[in-house]
């Protein structure tokens, strides 16, 4: 990989200053996607701004009806955290299905969401729970966050500091895992929240999306039967070496049914 | 531009000057001459380069040396005791013939130790799941899985 300047700011404000001062700089959290990307020379930032030394953007705490997860909290920490396991076990389970143990020790929730890989698990986890991203500038609802392939609502100079999850009544994540990469060929999170049923899909389309027809059906009758005949439109789905769009559309319904059956 | 890095490797304080892009595995192998840690795929998939950083298994091909500044790194060379007594996971790999060509073995052993710490008395399903990020092209994994299950039971029982 090309060389770069390396910075370890001690605060989010310092990180933002560095980002503003270096037009071609990139933020680094766990580096589990960024470092392989640099090695392949798909990117060559002038500077890497490593967020690892900022103390107040990692860890998990409860704030009223919400669970707040710091952006630099690793997948392993979310998976093993007692509060997450007690209050949102579906999210703890999702985090434990990302990559492999060594990757889970480094990769973070903030990094995964900011990267917005179409086959990542957290986009379904945040969208499905109706989470809110807290940045150094504002709050962004997950519904407004994932815009397209590797594209989010984050603006230049904006840094995710945490994710706020409303504690659901119940949630469950089902994933068809790619056997080599561990990424989701399709992943579906179903949640019963205080504001209704949510069904979020990752892996299938260019970015995570909600299966609204399933949500409406489950709101009336929360049963496997209620979504039996409902499929998402294959025209909008990914068609690649791993799976055809038609297959992905089929698997979305299969996984949604399995998730509901787990209730 | 060179950056100063300092960390402990296998309990010994080490320092050096590296480019920012220098990988942790390059620092371990090329600068510190600890060549037990291997580079297999160089793409975060095969696990041959697995080491422990502050007690957690990570892939040293996907971490910068500067990111390990101030941290404690343990490599395969740091597992056995000074008198040569093998770590229980190393001993179990010997006992169960958990290797053939040996290329993946340092990473397998380091991940095995991590698995045993997190999963006392690990069952076969758990061990196979946890070995997701470590690839062996010789053994068919059978001996490796048996070795880690055995070591996990022994370490949980305090026998080793």
Q: Rounded CA gap, B48 and B36, in Å?
A: 10
pLDDT band at A4 (very low <50, low <70, confident <90, very high): very high
Residue among A4, A36, A105 whose CB faces B20 most closely: A4
When the pLDDT of each residue in chain A is averaged and rounded to a whole number, the result is 97
Kindly determine whether residue B47 and residue A100, on different chains, have CB atoms separated by under 8 Å: yes
Probe site for chain B from A102, A104, A177, A181 (most B CB atoms < 10 A): A102
| pLDDT reported for residue B158 | 65
Kindly determine whether residue B43 and residue A76, on different chains, have CB atoms separated by under 8 Å: no
Instruction: Identify any residues that bridge with A44 across adjacent strands, giving them in sequence order.
Output: none
Closest CA to A202 of A138, A106, A116, A123: A123
The domains of chain B are located at: 2-76, 88-156
Digit-coded pLDDT (tens) for B84-143: 999 999 999 999 999 999 999 999 999 999 999 999 999 999 999 999 999 999 999 999
Q: Rounded CA gap, A14 and A10, in Å?
A: 7
Taking CA–CA distances from A2, the nearest residue in chain B reads B21
pLDDT band at B1 (very low <50, low <70, confident <90, very high): confident
* Residues B127/B94, Cβ–Cβ less than 8 Å: no
DSSP letter, residue B85 = P
- Phi and psi at residue A126, in whole multiples of 5°? -80, -45
Query: Which two tokens mark B88?
Result: 């229980």
DSSP letter, residue A74 = B
Sort out which chain A residues have CB atoms less than 8 A from B67's CB and list them: 31, 50, 52
- State how far residue B134 is from chain A, nearest Cα, in angstroms: 9
Closest CA to A50 of B87, B3, B73: B3
Q: Which residue has the higher pLDDT, B82 or B159?
A: B82
Digit-coded pLDDT (tens) for A92-127: 999 999 999 999 999 999 999 999 999 999 999 999
Judged against a pLDDT cut of 90, whether residue A166 lies above it is answered with yes
Kindly determine whether residue A105 and residue B20, on different chains, have CB atoms separated by under 8 Å: no
Query: Which two tokens mark A7?
Result: 């910075």
Probe site for chain A from B19, B54, B58, B60 (most A CB atoms < 10 A): B58
Residue B146 C-alpha from the chain's centroid: 18
Q: What is the separation, in whole angstroms, between the first and last Cα of chain A?
A: 47
Q: Which fold has domain B2-76?
A: Ubiquitin-like (UB roll) (3.10.20)
Closest CA to A178 of A245, A242, A120, A125: A242
The edge-to-edge listing of strands for the beta sheet with A5-7 is A5-7, A47-50, A25-28
CATH of domain A170-261: 3.30.390.50
| Share above pLDDT 90 across residues of chain A, in percent, rounded to a whole number | 99
Digit-coded pLDDT (tens) for A31-66: 999 999 999 999 999 999 999 999 999 999 999 999
Calculate the alpha carbon distances from A16 to A139, A159, A164, A173 in Å: 16, 7, 21, 34
- State how far residue B19 is from chain A, nearest Cα, in angstroms: 7
Q: Rounded CA gap, B27 and B20, in Å?
A: 11
DSSP letter, residue B10 = T
Whether A1-54 shares its CATH topology with A170-261 is answered no
Kindly determine whether residue A101 and residue B1, on different chains, have CB atoms separated by under 8 Å: no
Sort out which chain B residues have CB atoms less than 8 A from A102's CB and list them: 47, 50, 57-59, 111, 133
Residue among A52, A76, A102 whose CB faces B67 most closely: A52
Q: Rounded CA gap, A47 and A24, in Å?
A: 7
Non-local (6+) Cβ contacts of A234 within 8 A are A245, A246, A248, A249
Instruction: Please compute the mean of the pLDDT values over residues A179-197 and round it to a whole number.
Output: 96
Sort out which chain A residues have CB atoms less than 8 A from B115's CB and list them: 101
Judged against a pLDDT cut of 50, whether residue B160 lies above it is answered with no
Digit-coded pLDDT (tens) for B35-66: 999 999 999 999 999 999 999 999 999 999 99
Sort out which chain B residues have CB atoms less than 8 A from A39's CB and list them: 42-43
Q: What would the 3-class secondary structure string for B109-148 be?
A: HHHHHHHHHHCCCCCHHHHHHHHHHCCCCCCCCHHHHHHH
- State how far residue A71 is from chain B, nearest Cα, in angstroms: 18
Sort out which chain A residues have CB atoms less than 8 A from B1's CB and list them: 3, 5
User: CATH homologous superfamily of domain B88-156?
Assistant: [2Fe-2S]-binding domain (1.10.150.120)
CATH of domain A1-54: 3.30.43.10
| pLDDT reported for residue B157 | 86
């Amino acid at each position: 990989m090309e060389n770069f300047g390396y910075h370890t700011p001690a605060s989010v404000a310092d990180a933002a200053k560095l980002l503003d001062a270096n037009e071609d700089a990139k933020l680094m959290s766990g580096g589990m996607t960024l470092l392989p990307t640099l090695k392949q020379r798909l990117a060559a930032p002038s500077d890497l701004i490593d967020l690892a030394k900022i103390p107040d953007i990692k860890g998990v705490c409860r704030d009223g009806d919400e669970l707040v997860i710091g952006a630099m909290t690793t997948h392993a920490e979310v998976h093993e955290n007692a509060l997450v396991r007690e209050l949102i076990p579906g999210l703890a389970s999702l985090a434990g299905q990302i990559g492999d143990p060594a990757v889970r020790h480094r990769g973070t929730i903030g990094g995964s969401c900011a990267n917005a890989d179409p086959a990542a698990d957290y986009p379904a986890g945040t969208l499905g729970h109706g989470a809110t991203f807290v940045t150094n500038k504002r709050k962004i609802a997950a519904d407004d966050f994932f815009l397209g392939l590797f594209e989010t609502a984050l603006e230049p100079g904006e840094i995710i500091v945490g994710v706020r999850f409303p504690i659901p009544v119940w949630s469950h994540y089902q994933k068809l895992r790619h056997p080599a990469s561990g990424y989701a060929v399709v992943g579906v999170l179903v949640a019963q929240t205080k504001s209704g049923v949510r069904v979020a899909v990752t892996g299938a389309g260019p970015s995570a999306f909600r299966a609204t027809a399933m949500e409406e059906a489950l709101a009336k009758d929360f049963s496997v039967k209620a979504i039996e005949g409902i499929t998402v439109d294959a025209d909008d789905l990914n068609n690649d070496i791993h799976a055809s769009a038609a297959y992905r559309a089929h698997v979305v319904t299969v996984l949604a049914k399995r998730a509901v059956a787990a209730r | 531009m060179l950056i100063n890095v300092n960390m402990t490797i296998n309990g010994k304080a080490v320092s050096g000057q590296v480019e920012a892009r220098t990988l942790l595995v390059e620092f371990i192998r090329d600068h510190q001459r600890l060549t037990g840690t291997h580079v297999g795929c160089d793409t975060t998939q095969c696990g041959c380069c697995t080491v422990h950083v502050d007690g957690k298994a990570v892939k040293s091909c996907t971490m910068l040396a500067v990111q390990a500044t101030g941290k404690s790194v343990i490599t395969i060379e740091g597992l056995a005791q000074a008198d040569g007594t093998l770590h229980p996971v190393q001993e179990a790999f010997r006992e169960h013939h958990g290797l053939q060509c040996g290329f993946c073995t340092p990473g397998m052993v380091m991940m095995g130790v991590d698995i045993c710490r997190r999963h006392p008395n690990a069952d076969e399903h758990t061990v196979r799941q946890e070995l997701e990020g470590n690839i062996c092209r010789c053994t068919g994994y059978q001996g490796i899985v048996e070795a880690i299950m055995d070591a996990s039971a022994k370490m949980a029982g305090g026998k080793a």
